[in-house]
């Protein structure tokens, strides 16, 4: 069964991690005492250090478990997993180093622990990468696949099927769809057959024996959901329900128990943590400062071209709404004619916009008009990466019609964002943009910020 294979994968991960810890331990010993700095106490026998493994391995494995590195069904990119390994190894070494101050029966070398950190990061990451590649290889050869039965036909169904098709290395295979309309039976969605009506789910579960059932139909009653969950548990089938059924559009939905009552709600965001906000602010200030100095000569040339174009102002200031609904003045290079919205009022930019100046067209095409916003970043009004800020006029319109639109204002607005690097800018779907913004907020890390900044260099879709 699939669950048995998942347990085998977890056991394999634990064994590989343990082997890499021992290998790191041995190599760190030789680098410290055979090739490293001399010690006044001579070279201690490796047996004195060998006993420490009884404490080192459990600390490592416990922290790995707490970080979710032994969850069999996680969908984590390889680079994210490696960075998480480095983060957890760092915690482990800090914890072990602190323990040496209290353990006085033997004096362990602090430099040895530094070498232990270095080689642990390298070898455990290599072991993890090899294990991930082995799993990918098996799934791409159609082994260890999770067969998924989908109940409900809507945009989420299509998006989920497309994701499964585009990411076969995660090993999820849609085997069929159940719908509520007789007319849809026999059709296909991305080559996945529509098998029958969702009211006959019990028959199809018994017939297909899928590994997982995903409910995406918002019309299912509480009684039907209860019966479906019970049937899946009885047949040892994994059950999932789309969190977006009720317009939540979130991946960080969690359950909190008060007494015996489970309460559904949103988990705190990574940037709710003051430490993460501090790290992001330091990163923004340093990178924005370097970019401002590097861009200054090009900025001066752009300013001269704008001024020579029509004699108007170089910069354009506009009110935008940022974190916690606070309004600030955003600064850009002016790309439109003077008083461009005097007749039309606030409107979206569009392809072949007649309001653009010749210089402005080039600046927008290459995203150069956004660079003065580095000053907003340095001032603390914005971040390098985050949901793009919108004008209060549009915010008032969207907040009434787009679910969770105002949730994007829980973090600082960004010069660029996860939605923008995927082409969702200008006059594009607000609903889709919100999904990308919320994904960013729920999965924030400095690594993701760096990835988005790099992607921005090549993101020219809908730049008008």
Residue 114 has pLDDT above 80, yes or no: yes
Residue 255: pLDDT band by 50, 70, 90 thresholds?
low
Task: Let me know: does 46 contact 29? Beta carbons within 8 Å.
Answer: yes
52, 166: one domain: no
Predicted local distance difference test score (pLDDT) of residue 308: 86
Whether residue 88 sits in one domain with residue 164 = no
Residue 462 belongs to some domain of the structure? no
Model confidence at 462: pLDDT above 70: no
Residue 237 predicted with pLDDT over 70: yes
Q: Within a domain: residue 257?
A: no
Entry pTM: 0.59
Q: What is the pLDDT of residue 1?
A: 46
Among candidates 97, 100, 101, which has minimal Cα distance to 89? 97
* 58 shares its domain with 181: no
87, 111, 140: which is the final residue of a domain?
Answer: 140
Structural domain includes residue 440: yes
Q: What pLDDT does 246 receive?
A: 47
Among 147-151, 232-236, 457-461, the minimum mean pLDDT is found in 457-461
Q: For 20-51, how does the pLDDT look when each residue is reduced to its tens digit (9 = 90+)?
A: 999 998 898 888 776 655 555 566 667 767 77
pLDDT given at position 243: 63
19 and 35: one domain? yes
Identify whether 185 is part of a domain. Answer: yes
Residue 254 lies inside a defined structural domain of this protein? no
Who has greater pLDDT, 221 or 317? 317
Residue 318 lies in domain:
272-456
Query: Which band of pLDDT confidence, cut at 50, 70 and 90, is reported for residue 9?
Result: confident
Q: What pLDDT sits at residue 67?
A: 84
Is the per-residue pLDDT at 76 higher than 60?
A: yes
Residues 359-381: tens digit of each pLDDT = 877 887 777 888 999 999 999 99
Is the domain of 432 the same as that of 355? yes
pLDDT of residue 23: 93
Question: How many separate domains does the chain show?
Answer: 3
Domain co-membership, 9 together with 153:
no
Are residue 221 and residue 282 in the same domain, yes or no? no
Structural domain includes residue 133: yes
258 belongs to a structural domain: no
Judgement on whether residues 207 and 119 belong to the same structural domain of the protein: no
| CATH classification of the domain holding 230 | 3.40.50.720
Whether the Cβ atoms of residue 323 and residue 413 lie closer than 8 Å to each other? yes
Candidates 269, 166, 163; CA nearest to 214 is: 163
**Alpha carbon distance 419, 437 (integer Å):** 6
Please tell me the predicted confidence (pLDDT) of residue 260: 62
Looking at the structure, tell me whether residues 383 and 242 fall in a common domain: no
- CA torsion sign, 372 to 378 to 379 to 385? positive
**Are residues 434 and 295 located together in one domain of the fold?**
yes
Across the range 429-442, mean pLDDT stands at 87
> Would you state the pLDDT for residue 289?
95
Together in a domain, 119 and 150: no
pLDDT, mean of residues 266-292 = 90
Q: Which of 105, 124, 140 is the last residue of a domain?
A: 140
Find the mean pLDDT for residues 214-230.
86
Q: Mark which of 140, 161, 183 sits at the end of a domain.
A: 140
**309-328 confidence digits (pLDDT tens):** 777 888 889 899 999 889 99
- With 70 as the cut, is the pLDDT of residue 449 above it? yes
Secondary structure (DSSP) of 74-109: ----HHHHHHHHHHHHHHHHHHHHHHHTT--SS---
Same domain, 179 and 213: yes
pLDDT at 259 over 60: no
The fraction of the chain above a pLDDT of 70, given in percent, is 80
Do residues 187 and 213 make contact, with C-beta atoms less than 8 angstroms apart? Answer: no
Residues 252 and 269: their CA atoms lie apart, in Å, by 8
Identify which has the larger pLDDT, 462 or 93: 93
Q: Is residue 406 part of a domain?
A: yes
pLDDT value of position 379: 94
**What are 283-293's pLDDT values in tens digits?**
999 999 999 99
Q: What is the mean pLDDT of the chain?
A: 82
Q: Locate 350 and state its tokens.
A: 């569009």
């Amino acid at each position: 069964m699939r669950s048995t294979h998942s347990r085998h994968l977890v056991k394999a991960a634990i064994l590989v991690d343990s082997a890499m810890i021992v290998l790191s331990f041995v190599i760190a010993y030789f680098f410290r005492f055979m090739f490293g700095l001399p010690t006044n106490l001579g070279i201690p026998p490796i047996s004195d250090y060998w006993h420490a493994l009884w404490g080192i391995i459990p600390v490592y494995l416990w922290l790995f478990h707490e970080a979710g590195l032994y969850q069999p069904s996680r969908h984590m990119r390889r680079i994210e997993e490696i960075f998480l390994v480095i983060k957890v190894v760092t915690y482990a070494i800090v914890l072990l180093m602190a323990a040496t101050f209290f353990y006085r029966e033997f004096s362990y070398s602090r430099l040895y622990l530094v070498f232990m950190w270095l080689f642990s990061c390298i070898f455990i990451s290599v072991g993890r990468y090899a294990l991930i590649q082995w799993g990918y290889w098996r799934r791409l050869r159609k082994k260890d696949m999770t067969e998924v039965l989908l109940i409900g036909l809507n945009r989420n169904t299509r998006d989920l099927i497309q994701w499964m098709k585009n990411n076969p290395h995660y090993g999820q295979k849609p085997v069929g769809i159940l719908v509520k309309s007789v007319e849809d039976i026999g059709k296909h969605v991305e080559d996945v057959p529509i098998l029958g009506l969702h009211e006959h789910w019990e028959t199809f579960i018994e017939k297909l024996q899928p590994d997982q059932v995903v409910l995406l139909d918002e019309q299912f009653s509480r009684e039907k959901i209860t019966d479906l969950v019970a049937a899946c548990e009885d047949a040892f089938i994994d059950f999932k329900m789309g969190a977006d059924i009720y317009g939540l559009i979130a991946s960080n939905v969690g359950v909190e128990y008060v007494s015996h009552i489970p309460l559904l709600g949103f988990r705190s965001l990574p940037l709710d943590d003051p430490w993460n906000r501090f790290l992001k602010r330091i990163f923004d200030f340093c990178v924005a400062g370097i970019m401002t100095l590097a861009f200054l000569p090009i900025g001066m040339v752009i300013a001269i071209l704008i001024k020579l174009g029509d004699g108007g102002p170089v910069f354009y200031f506009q009110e935008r709404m940022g974190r916690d609904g606070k309004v600030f003045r955003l600064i850009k290079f002016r790309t439109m004619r003077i008083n461009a919205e005097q007749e039309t009022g606030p409107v979206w930019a569009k392809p072949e916009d007649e309001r653009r100046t010749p210089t402005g067209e080039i600046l927008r095409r290459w995203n150069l008009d956004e660079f003065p916003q580095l000053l907003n970043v340095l001032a603390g009004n914005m971040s390098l990466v985050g949901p793009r800020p919108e004008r209060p006029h549009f915010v008032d319109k969207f907040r009434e019609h787009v679910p969770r639109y105002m949730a994007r204002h829980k973090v600082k607005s960004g010069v660029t964002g996860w939605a923008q690097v995927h082409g969702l800018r200008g006059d594009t779907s607000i609903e889709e943009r919100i999904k990308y913004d919320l994904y960013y907020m729920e999965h924030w890390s400095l690594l993701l910020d760096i990835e988005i900044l790099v992607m921005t260099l090549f993101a020219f879709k809908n730049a008008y």
